[in-house]
Chains A and B, each alone.
Chain A
Amino acid sequence: MPLLSPTLLENLGINLSEEHYQALSEHFETTLNERVINEIVLELSPEQAEQLATLQQAGDEEVLAWLKANVPDVAEIVADEVDILLGEIAENSEAISDN
């Protein structure tokens, strides 16, 4: 389920056309992923970063398990980044709206 749904935006008073919603949603997801990755990478020691680099061919489950084991704060990082991003949208809700 996407975090940024039209209903969520409507709840914030943001009315967007389908096209604009898709663009915003995509931008939201991309920005969120970038920020989460940035924070996770900052958490890693050089050795862990190397380990993670070796997991390039590993399956998603393996990478996820590794993340949970090596970055205990990952959930908080994700939640915080989502909070920050949603807060930014709430902050700029008037500017984002189509009308």
Chain B
Amino acid sequence: MPEKLRSAYEVANERTSAPDAAAEPAPELASIPGPHPSPEAPTSGDIAPVSSASPDSLSTPDTEPTTSTETLATDVEILGKHYPVRQMINEIGNQRMRAVESVTASWKNMLDTPGKMRLGLAQSIAKGRLTRQERKAEAVSHLSDRNWLKRRRMRKLQKARDRFDRANAKYQGRKDRMAARKENVGKNVEQRRADYRKELRVRREAALGRRALRRELRAQDAGRFEARAVLKDIPKEHLERVGKLAATAYASERKAAQADKQKKSTVRNENRTLEAIGDNRRRMSEAANQAKEADKTVNEYETIRIPKLKDHLTELRDKLKDRTDDDQDRDSLEMQIQQTEEQIKIYEQREVPYWKQVALSNRQRVITLNKNHDALTANLSQNTAAKDTAVTDATAARATADAHKAELMKAAAEATDSAPEQNN
């Protein structure tokens, strides 16, 4: 069923947008005033700001009472083209505005360029004159103020200064105006962007408000047509309030969900650290046992096996001394002595050092694991602190979200309650 619905929705968009193109001017053209402007098209012409294409005045089923026939017609518009066209106008408005403003600014700057050059020349001449007069005035600065020549030069200097100030002001003014035109193109783009974001946020709040009210009405078991009528009669302030509350509730819910996620994550971390500590402890115990076993083996070699072999070797050597050179057992005894000596050598030079090494490496492992244990314990206390904070945050966020939700439900109920009164 969802698949079917989805395809129906998509088809609705596709199908109804095609005839629109034929029946109405293309969106690019829609913004140009014509004899039969599209209902969605802004009628203020190309240079209408993006916000002027605001759909607030277009999708106002909740502010304007409509008959069911009218509603269906509006629905067809909305389902098929109303919204996409509205969006496209916004996009094109912003894009075109940037282009139009940029071209306009360039054109005006181009027209202003000769004037700017003229003013620049005038400013440059005035500057030269001022420099000259300053030099001349400097030359007579040592004379008395009542001296005719000095007074004349000072007057001329003042005139040159005034002239330069005027020329400079005109030149700078022109330059600033031209620069501002270019800057304003960028600023206006940013402004429109900010306005557009704001507009989308406001529309979202309103939509959340309407959705919350729809749900509330459903919860009150109102009939759909009744619900629709009630929705339309709800005062705008209430709708706005509900919208804001819905947005706040939505944000709180998201925050609560995030806090809950954070809490779960910290709990997971704590559990993981606890598991790591347990695992570390187990490995430490194993290493300690292995070290102990190795020590025991070394001890066994050193105190039992090797001394026993040495005793046996002494016995064999004593026996060999007692034998004559032609005794038939002599070779066998010599062989046994050699084997015993080799066995002692193996024990002393291979087995004992090996087991000593095993014991040593396991002891070192215990030391390392012990250090690990300290680090993991420190981690655990950090994780536990983080978990405690996250649990507190999550509880607080959940409480806030629940409070906002309750507030929203209350406002929605008030709004629906107040609608018939307003209507009456």
Majority secondary structure of chain A interface residues (helix, strand, loop or mixed): helix
Q: From residue B107, how far is it (CB to closest CB) to chain A in Å?
A: 24
Q: From residue A6, how far is it (CB to closest CB) to chain B in Å?
A: 9
Given A78-B83, A86-B203, A86-B204, CB of A7 within 8 Å of CB of B95: yes
Name the residue of chain A whose CB is nearest to the CB of B11. Answer: A60
Name the residue of chain B whose CB is nearest to the CB of A69. Answer: B72
Interface status of B5 (Cβ within 8 A of chain A): yes
Interface status of B340 (Cβ within 8 A of chain A): no
Give chain B residues whose Cβ lies under 8 Å from the Cβ of A3. 83-84, 87
Interface status of A26 (Cβ within 8 A of chain B): no
Residue of A33, A53, A93 touching B9 (CB-CB under 8 A): A33
Would you call B87 and A8 a contact (CB within 8 A)?
A: yes
Would you call A1 and B84 a contact (CB within 8 A)?
A: yes
Would you call A87 and B200 a contact (CB within 8 A)?
A: yes
Given A8-B91, A84-B208, CB of A76 within 8 Å of CB of B61: yes
A85 to B158, CA, bound (A): 67
Given A63-B5, A83-B203, CB of A72 within 8 Å of CB of B79: no
Give chain B residues whose Cβ lies under 8 Å from the Cβ of A91. 201, 204
Name the residue of chain B whose CB is nearest to the CB of A93. Answer: B197
Q: From residue A98, how far is it (CB to closest CB) to chain B in Å?
A: 16
Name the residue of chain A whose CB is nearest to the CB of B8. Answer: A63
Would you call B193 and A11 a contact (CB within 8 A)?
A: yes
A12 to B91, CA, bound (A): 10
Residue of B9, B11, B91, B205 touching A7 (CB-CB under 8 A): B91
Would you call A76 and B7 a contact (CB within 8 A)?
A: no
Residue of B61, B206, B224 touching A83 (CB-CB under 8 A): B206
Which chain B residues (301-349) contact chain A, with CB distance < 8 Å?
A: none
Would you call A11 and B6 a contact (CB within 8 A)?
A: no
A29 to B210, CA, bound (A): 21
Would you call B211 and A86 a contact (CB within 8 A)?
A: no
Give chain B residues whose Cβ lies under 8 Å from the Cβ of A52. 1, 5
Give chain A residues whose Cβ lies under 8 Å from the Cβ of B8. 60, 63-64, 67
- Bitwise interface map of B from 65 to 98 toward A, beta carbon under 8 Å scored 1, else 0: 0001001101111110011100110111011000
A52 to B1, CA, bound (A): 8
Give chain B residues whose Cβ lies under 8 Å from the Cβ of A87. 200-201, 203-205, 207-208
A3 to B399, CA, bound (A): 36
Give chain A residues whose Cβ lies under 8 Å from the Cβ of B50. 11
Would you call B88 and A40 a contact (CB within 8 A)?
A: no
Most chain B beta carbons < 10 A, residue from A1, A7, A60, A75: A75
Given A37-B2, A68-B75, CB of A13 within 8 Å of CB of B193: yes
A83 to B59, CA, bound (A): 11
A67 to B208, CA, bound (A): 22
- Bitwise interface map of A from 8 to 52 toward B, beta carbon under 8 Å scored 1, else 0: 100111000000000000000000011011011011000000001
Interface status of B225 (Cβ within 8 A of chain A): yes
Name the residue of chain B whose CB is nearest to the CB of A52. Answer: B1
Q: From residue B80, how far is it (CB to closest CB) to chain A in Å?
A: 9
A12 to B10, CA, bound (A): 25
Would you call B71 and A90 a contact (CB within 8 A)?
A: no
A59 to B131, CA, bound (A): 88
Given A42-B218, A67-B8, CB of A72 within 8 Å of CB of B228: yes
Most chain B beta carbons < 10 A, residue from A11, A43, A88: A11
- For the complex of A and B, the 3 pairs showing the least CB-CB separation, nearest first, are A87-B204, A75-B75, A83-B207
- 25 A-B contacts (beta carbon < 8 Å): A1-B17, A11-B50, A11-B192, A11-B196, A12-B200, A33-B6, A33-B10, A37-B2, A53-B1, A56-B1, A63-B8, A68-B72, A72-B228, A73-B214, A73-B228, A75-B76, A75-B77, A79-B207, A80-B207, A81-B211, A83-B207, A84-B208, A86-B200, A89-B200, A91-B201
A58-B4, A61-B11 known; 15 new pairs, CB 8 Å cut-off, are A1-B13, A5-B91, A7-B94, A33-B10, A52-B1, A71-B224, A72-B75, A75-B76, A75-B77, A77-B214, A79-B78, A87-B200, A87-B205, A87-B207, A91-B204
